Amino acid sequence: MNALGSTEHKKKIDVVVALLLFFMLFLLALFVFLVKVDSDAKRYSSYDYAVSELKLADKSFDNFLLQQTTFVNYDLINRELSKFEVNMNFLNSKDVAGLFSPDYLLLLKNIAKAYKVKHKAIEYHKSKNALLLNSIHYLFDLNMAMSESDIVDKATLEVIDQTLLMVMKFYINPYIKIEPILDNILKLKLKLKKNSSLELEMFIEHIFLNVDRIREFSKLKKKQEKIVLIDAIDSLHIYLKNKYKEDILIERVIVTALFFIALVILVVLLIVYKRSLKMRDELLGFSAAVENSYNSIVITDIDSNITYVNDLAIKETGYTKEELIGQNPRVLKSDVKSDAFYKKMHEDLSMGRKWEGEFRNKRKDGSLFYEKASIMPIFQDGELTNYLAIKLNITDYIEEKQKVEHMVYHDALTSLPNRTNIENYLEHHLTVAKRDNSKIAILFIDLDRFKTINDTLGHDVGDELLVECAKRIRSALRESDMLARVGGDEFVVVLEALNDEYSAAQVCEKIIELFQKSIQTKAHRLNITLSIGISIFPDDAKDYTALFKYADVAMYEAKESGRNNFKYYKRQLSVDAHNRLDMEQALKKAVTHNELYLVYQPKYNILEKSVVGLEALVRWESEKIGFIPPDEFISVAEDTGDILEIGAYIFRQACEDFLIFQKSCLELQSISINISAVQLYQDSFVDDVKSVIKEVGIKPQSIMLEITESHVMKNVTHSMQILKSLKEVGFKISIDDFGTGHSSLSYLKLFPINELKIDKSFVDDLPDDQDDVAIARAIIALSQNMGYVNVAEGIETKEQEQFLEDNGCEIGQGYYFSKPQTKNDLINFFKKLEDES
């Protein structure tokens, strides 16, 4: 089945491959996007981390800025600062900033700006913190030192303590009034004026400084509050978060879309797969059905190359699968069916039509078998793609049918056609014969005294005898002749295309002759004779029933006249046939028994009345049947082939005699010898005559070969060849009986002719019959124009001679001048002529 539907299959595969490719493509895209999402997430998380670091650093900045009198290791705050800067640099680097819009840079710039201010504040804070810390520290040192010694009096010390406390308060809340502190300072300064003390001096100095610094601090703090570094960082943070959400949203949408597209493709693939599974199952089912079919199934492509054969087809043909695939189915073709049969089939198929018929195909081993086939073109999408042949081996059926047919139409014993068969046969063939105007002879053959043999020796012997008889009869017949067994000991022969009625007699003779020999059966030697009756179509009857009846009648007549013999239905025919057979018998011995002899009729110059030539004529004086005129026996001799022997005798005898005649008649120019068409068409004819004239010693120029016009015209091309080669030897050619043979003048012109002889029938009624006159004149004129010598035959009267003389005919021949004479008479005739002249 793979031969079928292959293109559809291919298309489906292409779709599947395309879908798979798409699927893989989308998977790849999905993967790439997932990787991108992941790296984006990482990227954003690193930004987030950096921003968080900024925030943390800012927190520690704030923390630091809150610490006024606490000792701080500035390394720590420096570390925070550089951490902040490192993160800022990271966020500001090309790798990061390049990915964002100018808004981002603006936000970064805001941060940098705020940071710059804050950084500055931190630096001041560091200095101030160090100083303040130190100062306060020292103040307490001093306070302690002063309270422990008696550098100052108690009252002063109290003022100092109070001042210190106020400074502390001021320190904690820089918004309180500082006037009390300044008052105290004034008091202390007064004390100092009274009682100079380095410690007190220092104390006052430091208090001043402290107040100043605390003021500065609160100023700075106010400034710091305006610094919105954290806001700037937050803005950036929000910006990044939004940006991230945006990016992730887009990517999520893309990833989801890719995922769903991939899912859809997968579903489509699944559906296609399901379908192909179903189709495969169906195909498997079909395939199994085809494989195990009781029909041979052959599929070819459009160029008739076999693409599939099922098991039975392999078994039936005897070829292997490999031998058949790719072959043209014509390897199976036998030559039994005609080319036209196959032509019709190809025509039908190429027109896209279904074809049904029977093949007689050939197996690999050469044996033949019958197949009933139906071949149909297969179309796919309107295009012819394959041919499917479903064939059934019907050899058994056909053979059985033939056997039955044979039994119906044949005799079981001899296998010869039976009566029904021959009746059918005749029915058809009589119509043909009627149309062709040809004759058919029906021979009714009956075995003489067969009943006696059958009764005395038994049916087995009778059957054996019948089979042998059938064989013998058959052997006497031509292939085309029909033999049938129509009754117990009755046979019918149908002879078609008869030359004449007598051919049937010849066949009968032959059959009867064959039965002269006794027949050897298993146990007996039997002598059996036949009686044959003949009826002729269409002479005796025109339908086969009558023909059978008449043949039967003739057969009984033969039996009555003594058996072992044949009879025509027409009595005269029987007689004639027997006469003719007698003549044939006699003719066979005519030459050897010297029963033939020649006579010569002079050809004379009509004007001068002088002999110019002789025509040799044959005569037959049979010992058995007496004198037979030449026009009777020549045609029989031509039929039997005896003419060859006779012709050879005539030619040689005439040549020899002519040499003798020449001595007594000096004017004698030529001897005319009649040549039969049978002789002329003999392959060896030219060589034969050449050797004869050589032997006899006569010049070929002296010999005029007379050939009947109708014979020459039978086969123009062959005749022309022979005549040309005869002419080359030196013979002269005369066309005899001119005017009776339907000559075509265009051919005549081409023949190497010396002489034309006007047929006697045209001369007979001269000069009274106007038609004959016209013909004679025309022939004479033709001869003169073509340069032939003109001879008129059968001149019997003075008037005829006179007419011919008047019309310019040169040479004559006939009883009026001289009848044919024997050799001796002719020599005397010459002498007499000589004497007369």
Partner 1 sequence: MKYLIIFFLMINFVYAEPITPLPQSVEVDDSKVALGKKLFFDTIVSVDNTVSCATCHDLENGGDDGLDVSFGIEGKQGNINSPTVYNSVYNFRQFWNGRAKDLSEQAKGPIENPVEMGNNFENLIKTLKRTSYKSEFNKVYSDGVTKENIVDAIAEYEKTLITPSSPFDRYLRGDISAITQEQKEGYELFKSKGCIACHHGVNIGGNLYNKFGVMQNANSQSLGRYEVTKNEMDKYYFKVPTLRNIQKTAPYLHDGRFKHLDEVVKFMARYQLGRVVNQEEIDKIVVFLNSLSGEIPQSAKR
Task: Give the chain's length.
Answer: 837
Q: Is 123 in the site for partner 1 (CB under 8 A)?
A: yes
Q: What is the dihedral of CA 602, 606, 608, 611, to 10 degrees?
A: -10
Q: Which residues contact 309 (CB under 8 A, 6 or more apart)?
A: 296, 297, 298, 299, 321, 324, 325
Number of residues that bind partner 1 (CB under 8 A): 32
Q: Is 131 in the site for partner 1 (CB under 8 A)?
A: yes
Closest approach of partner 1 to the CB of residue 169, in Å: 12
Closest approach of partner 1 to the CB of residue 251, in Å: 35
- Scan for tokens 């009764």, then name that residue: 455
The single residue among 74, 409, 556, 597 that binds partner 1, judged by CB under 8 A, is 74
- The Cα–Cα gap between 217 and 211 comes to 10
Q: Is 90 in the site for partner 1 (CB under 8 A)?
A: no
Closest approach of partner 1 to the CB of residue 161, in Å: 7
Q: Is 666 in the site for partner 1 (CB under 8 A)?
A: no
- The Cα–Cα gap between 507 and 511 comes to 6
Q: Is 176 in the site for partner 1 (CB under 8 A)?
A: no
- The Cα–Cα gap between 240 and 156 comes to 63
Q: Which residues contact 767 (CB under 8 A, 6 or more apart)?
A: 773, 799, 800, 802, 803
Q: Is 71 in the site for partner 1 (CB under 8 A)?
A: yes
Residue-by-residue DSSP string for 434-484: HHHT-EEEEEEEEETTHHHHHHHH-HHHHHHHHHHHHHHHHHTS-TTSEEE
Q: Is 212 in the site for partner 1 (CB under 8 A)?
A: no
Closest-CA residue to 430 (of 577, 545, 570, 534): 545
The single residue among 117, 202, 283, 782 that binds partner 1, judged by CB under 8 A, is 202
Q: What angle do CA 69, 75, 78 make, to 5 degrees?
A: 95
Closest approach of partner 1 to the CB of residue 113, in Å: 16
Closest approach of partner 1 to the CB of residue 220, in Å: 10
Q: Is 817 in the site for partner 1 (CB under 8 A)?
A: no
Window contacting partner 1 (CB under 8 A); options: 160-168, 234-242, 285-293, 429-437: 160-168
The single residue among 34, 37, 133, 786 that binds partner 1, judged by CB under 8 A, is 133
Q: Which residues contact 11 (CB under 8 A, 6 or more apart)?
A: none
The single residue among 103, 153, 183, 205 that binds partner 1, judged by CB under 8 A, is 205
Q: What angle do CA 741, 743, 744 make, to 5 degrees?
A: 160
Closest approach of partner 1 to the CB of residue 100, in Å: 26
Window contacting partner 1 (CB under 8 A); options: 122-130, 263-271, 339-347, 809-817: 122-130
Q: Is 165 in the site for partner 1 (CB under 8 A)?
A: yes
Q: Is 134 in the site for partner 1 (CB under 8 A)?
A: yes
Q: Is 86 in the site for partner 1 (CB under 8 A)?
A: no
Residue closer to partner 1 by CB (options 145, 407) is 145
Window contacting partner 1 (CB under 8 A); options: 69-77, 429-437, 609-617, 678-686: 69-77
Alpha-carbon radius of gyration of the chain: 72
3-state secondary structure of 531: strand
Window contacting partner 1 (CB under 8 A); options: 65-73, 232-240, 422-430, 643-651: 65-73
The single residue among 17, 130, 302, 412 that binds partner 1, judged by CB under 8 A, is 130
Q: Is 89 in the site for partner 1 (CB under 8 A)?
A: no
Residue closer to partner 1 by CB (options 22, 124) is 124
Q: Is 78 in the site for partner 1 (CB under 8 A)?
A: yes
Q: What is the dihedral of CA 235, 237, 241, 242, to 10 degrees?
A: 10
Q: What are phi and psi of 496, to 5 degrees?
A: -110, 165
Closest approach of partner 1 to the CB of residue 33, in Å: 34
Q: Is 126 in the site for partner 1 (CB under 8 A)?
A: yes
**What is the residue type of 41?**
A
Q: What are phi and psi of 821, to 5 degrees?
A: -135, 155
Q: Is 69 in the site for partner 1 (CB under 8 A)?
A: yes
3-state secondary structure of 67: coil
Binding string to partner 1 for residues 140 to 159, with x set by CB under 8 A, is what? xx--x---------------
- Scan for tokens 């987030």, then name that residue: 48
Query: Which residues of the shown chain bind partner 1 in the complex (CB under 8 A)?
Result: 69-71, 73-75, 78, 81, 123-124, 126-127, 129-131, 133-135, 137-138, 140-141, 144, 161, 165, 168, 198-199, 202, 205-206, 209
